Structure 1
């Protein structure tokens, strides 16, 4: 005869057990989650109802956008959370999961699933099951996420009548894994588990205790610090180069910047680290990427620095972040360099070395002469707007605002022009969030949506500036409905040339992204925003200043020429390099000239 939990462990214990849905809500709150993004559906309906008392369950225009918003959320919080229904909802999130996997973002992808009592020989309407199949595939989404190298599990219900299920403990393990390892996870939750009793959890009093406050298990930090101390003392023009791993470790980044200021050490970051530094700081050289860089600190990095302390860069270099493997990245090839990649969890090894350096007997240097504002403000004298003077114009406009922008560029020409923008301190601690290639187009508006939610929670009026081409915008315009519902303070600069121009290699119809009759200014009005047309640098500055003062949703259409003189310097260099790699003789000659050969 089956034994009930109540009979087995007693009524007092049984009454102590929470329902799984409530336990999951408490777990998300413990990890600092205040909102989830997603799309409703039959298999996730019970979960939505269970979580609503604990977190905001916010809609997205589609599942992929929900995943992208969760990625932006994870850039700014301990976890990002996306919630969808079974397979037809979770499988469209795979692009966002690839982004989270590549960027090392702790995103939790939650999917409803068939109840364990529904699994039998019949094909469920959301299962991947062609009519010719001999078996029902219930694990399609699990396998898809696992194929990306993501930990993916389906929660288990009760396996013995006398024992509560372990679903809450499974979730705690998965959320802890995502948090500690900065990796996405995928969780399928059978819908009949939501209202079942689960084992009660004993959580730490605070999130930081999950790390166990463990000491660094690696030895030799004192020897590394001593070696760095000797090299810093011998160097006349040192450089600290900060990698993108530090953007998710604010405490360590703050410690390093404080050390640089204490010692008068110039510092720069990689393209993927852009936005984590205040580029107006007198010691900041900006965001560097070899021959493709357009920053005033470039000369110091490439021709002056005689010792480089490289901290928190990727173990395996990315071609995008390392000058597209063009061998022009001076930090990569510097002969006098110490690299601390951060090979222990949460870069504890770097942190311990920095503590030792801060207590070392180093003589502070006199602050070097001002390196400039971190960006080159050239081409602003050209009245006609284009990518060639877009960043310089925005930098001037930003100087007139009471609060600086948070920049959200879209993949394409807008992304490469955005590396010339000046990022300043803001309320979020990050002033630039971008998807550098991995999920292709379609992320800037979902990112802006998550940033706006965070700012609203903080009571901040800081403006968000989205930079996008018309191709990228058309991928995601349906997300405007959620920006409207938020009353978000977002301005969209819409660079219009009616084609997918970056990487264009012919005249096939696939490159056409617009119709000449399309009027995005009317579209933004339909979403309660204001549309503007700017064709000159002066018009754009005035419009940006006025839009920030008014607040709300704005779209600024900028007609953009595709002629080379109207492209950003970075894009021109990239197109030249691509042509060189493809064997184009003219591009090869131009590239060699660019490299001084």
Structure 2
């Protein structure tokens, strides 16, 4: 029943780790066509992989064992909650007879309490349930309805002794959320009126557009009425990043050149699911005109101090588009805010460092690539890069867990095997989740991984402790890891680059390579992409109230 329901909502892979309480469920997966189990090295990485899969396909799933597996995965599940990623977490738990008798079993605190893990998960999920035969179908449908509607993780505990209990299973009901027609019409009129009065409107895009599949609706609205749009870091690559209406990335004072000034001058800001988080707003440096924001959320609208409930964002965009159908595009002309790209500098004229590396890395990307970037130097660089058409950017700016991108790229690779994947990850981040390199190798994923080795946590050095030992990490022999992790070195490319010539040679080889390419690039500890120092200063001021770093 549960596997059929998962297949019905689009799950075709379940990531996880075997444990004695979920083995019978794994046996069922083995015999269920259309759904595969992807074993990972630990539950944290499994949940990150499910997150990456869900961002590509719309839904992800992870299987853990009770207690130790649950809590290992919980940080990644919390990250999915923070970023609005629909992931179904299934926990194989001790048998119901043990729960009912409060038996003292392993993977618990040996105190008879079987509610503490559920209490943890309730803080980070949209719905949760412990299945029992009498209510299993109803509870499963309730929880899966929540993950589809609210686009956040959900949690199901599956006692080990009920896997083979037969239950009557009705056909699944379609999941739909309808809008109140009268309230929808009123809300659409508010938005249309604001647009008609606006001298300089703009659309700000956040992760809601990914969550609810609003891409085409937003493009049609902006194109039809000539409204420029910008994307927060959580929404990069969701809409086309070229053409006269694309402004660039918006993040307050950390915006792409000219974007913050344009948004500041806008008298009508259509915010699509916008949340001004510190890391997506240049540490709360967003500067909008008073009353300019028209705040569209998944099921509500705030406009001119008025709140309207009872509608979906999709229906609202459709209603606004219909109302504007016969109106001429009023705002097609606007000043250019993005400078023309600088002419490339020859290799001979560029000293080795991250500046030349990120220029080369940007040029290495192809249209349609899925680009992962871990928190820190890599994410800052990619958020300011010009990505080719059709690229998808896989980042986690809100939860901002270092190490997220490697297992998330595993999920993205398996979800989209026909696209090329490129990952940029620092040495400190890589050491968090490095085990999943072995899973990428095992599944022969088509990915190029750039390991940025700058001797530790450069983003932390930019905040405090530029020379402090606590920001150091062990210097692994990174380029040897593919072989150590079981990679077929006849099919794997593993290289190191420490100067411009070696980088150009490595990029040329990687460009021709199909499969996994691992390229370690080495830099000085304080060498960083443009923007990282300013980010460090903003974090330092906000967290510690310090204007300048301590002296070495």
**Taking structure 1 as the reference length, what is the TM-score of the superposition?**
0.81
Match of 1:339 among 295, 309, 317: 295
Matches for 1:114-129 after TM superposition, within 5 Å: 114-119=94-99, 120-129=101-110
Match of 2:123 among 147, 150, 155: 147
In 2, the alpha carbon distance for the partners of 1:224 and 1:218 equals 11
Which residue in the other structure is 2:377 paired with?
Answer: 413
Which residue in the other structure is 1:480 paired with?
Answer: 437
8 Å CA contact 1:79–1:106 kept in 2: the answer is yes
8 Å CA contact 1:282–1:372 kept in 2: the answer is no
Question: What is the alpha-carbon root mean square deviation over aligned residues?
Answer: 2.8
Matches for 1:521-536 after TM superposition, within 5 Å: 521-526=479-484, 527-528=487-488, 529-536=492-499
> Deviations for 1:440-464, whole angstroms, at most 9, x for unmatched residues?
21211111111111122xxx2x221
Q: CA deviation at 1:64?
A: 0.5
> Deviations for 1:213-267, whole angstroms, at most 9, x for unmatched residues?
55556341242133134224xx2x44222222112222x2211212322333321
Is it true that 1:384 corresponds to 2:357 in the alignment?
Answer: no
Match of 2:470 among 481, 489, 510: 510
> Deviations for 1:482-524, whole angstroms, at most 9, x for unmatched residues?
1112211111111111111212333554322123xx3211112
Is it true that 1:395 corresponds to 2:362 in the alignment?
Answer: yes
Structure 2: runs of 5+ lacking an equivalent: 301-310
Which residue in the other structure is 1:446 paired with?
Answer: 407
Matches for 1:35-74 after TM superposition, within 5 Å: 35-52=13-30, 53-54=32-33, 55-74=35-54
Match of 1:227 among 179, 193, 208: 193
Match of 2:85 among 105, 109, 113: 105
Q: What is the DSSP-based 3-state SS (H/G/I as helix, E as strand, rest coil) of the residue aligned with 2:422?
A: strand
In 1, the alpha carbon distance for the partners of 2:266 and 2:345 equals 32
> Deviations for 1:571-593, whole angstroms, at most 9, x for unmatched residues?
111122234443445469xxxxx
Give the aligned length. 526
Q: CA deviation at 1:394?
A: 1.9
Which residue in the other structure is 2:183 paired with?
Answer: 218
Is it true that 1:313 corresponds to 2:245 in the alignment?
Answer: no
Structure 1: runs of 5+ lacking an equivalent: 1-22, 130-134, 158-164, 589-597
In 2, the alpha carbon distance for the partners of 1:62 and 1:266 equals 44
Alpha carbons of 1:255 and 1:377: their partners in 2 closer, same or farther (altered >3 Å)?
A: farther
In 2, the alpha carbon distance for the partners of 1:70 and 1:478 equals 16
8 Å CA contact 1:41–1:85 kept in 2: the answer is yes
Match of 1:361 among 327, 331, 345: 327
Alpha carbons of 1:363 and 1:510: their partners in 2 closer, same or farther (altered >3 Å)?
A: closer
In 1, the alpha carbon distance for the partners of 2:106 and 2:266 equals 65
Match of 1:493 among 421, 436, 450: 450
Which residue in the other structure is 1:196 paired with?
Answer: 165
Alpha carbons of 1:397 and 1:377: their partners in 2 closer, same or farther (altered >3 Å)?
A: farther
In 1, the alpha carbon distance for the partners of 2:538 and 2:252 equals 12
Which residue in the other structure is 1:239 paired with?
Answer: 202
Is it true that 1:560 corresponds to 2:541 in the alignment?
Answer: no
Is it true that 1:298 corresponds to 2:259 in the alignment?
Answer: yes
In 2, the alpha carbon distance for the partners of 1:243 and 1:391 equals 25
In 2, the alpha carbon distance for the partners of 1:283 and 1:377 equals 24
8 Å CA contact 1:280–1:422 kept in 2: the answer is no
> Deviations for 1:132-160, whole angstroms, at most 9, x for unmatched residues?
xxx41222321211233553221113xxx
Alpha carbons of 1:36 and 1:108: their partners in 2 closer, same or farther (altered >3 Å)?
A: same
In 2, the alpha carbon distance for the partners of 1:277 and 1:540 equals 31
> Deviations for 1:309-338, whole angstroms, at most 9, x for unmatched residues?
323133x5311112112x3x24x3466453
Which residue in the other structure is 2:228 paired with?
Answer: 266
8 Å CA contact 1:533–1:556 kept in 2: the answer is yes
In 2, the alpha carbon distance for the partners of 1:539 and 1:379 equals 17
Segment of structure 1 superposing worse, 84-93 or 218-227 = 218-227
In 2, the alpha carbon distance for the partners of 1:464 and 1:384 equals 28
Match of 1:138 among 114, 137, 155: 114
Q: CA deviation at 1:349?
A: 5.3
**Taking structure 2 as the reference length, what is the TM-score of the superposition?**
0.87
In 2, the alpha carbon distance for the partners of 1:115 and 1:579 equals 49
Is it true that 1:94 corresponds to 2:74 in the alignment?
Answer: yes
8 Å CA contact 2:395–2:405 kept in 1: the answer is yes
In 1, the alpha carbon distance for the partners of 2:339 and 2:212 equals 25
Match of 2:211 among 233, 241, 248: 248
Q: CA deviation at 1:534?
A: 2.3
8 Å CA contact 1:380–1:389 kept in 2: the answer is no
8 Å CA contact 2:203–2:269 kept in 1: the answer is yes
Alpha carbons of 1:61 and 1:414: their partners in 2 closer, same or farther (altered >3 Å)?
A: same
Which residue in the other structure is 1:19 paired with?
Answer: none
Alpha carbons of 1:272 and 1:355: their partners in 2 closer, same or farther (altered >3 Å)?
A: same
Alpha carbons of 1:380 and 1:242: their partners in 2 closer, same or farther (altered >3 Å)?
A: farther
Is it true that 1:578 corresponds to 2:536 in the alignment?
Answer: no
Which residue in the other structure is 1:7 paired with?
Answer: none
8 Å CA contact 1:449–1:483 kept in 2: the answer is yes
Is it true that 1:544 corresponds to 2:507 in the alignment?
Answer: yes
In 2, the alpha carbon distance for the partners of 1:192 and 1:216 equals 47
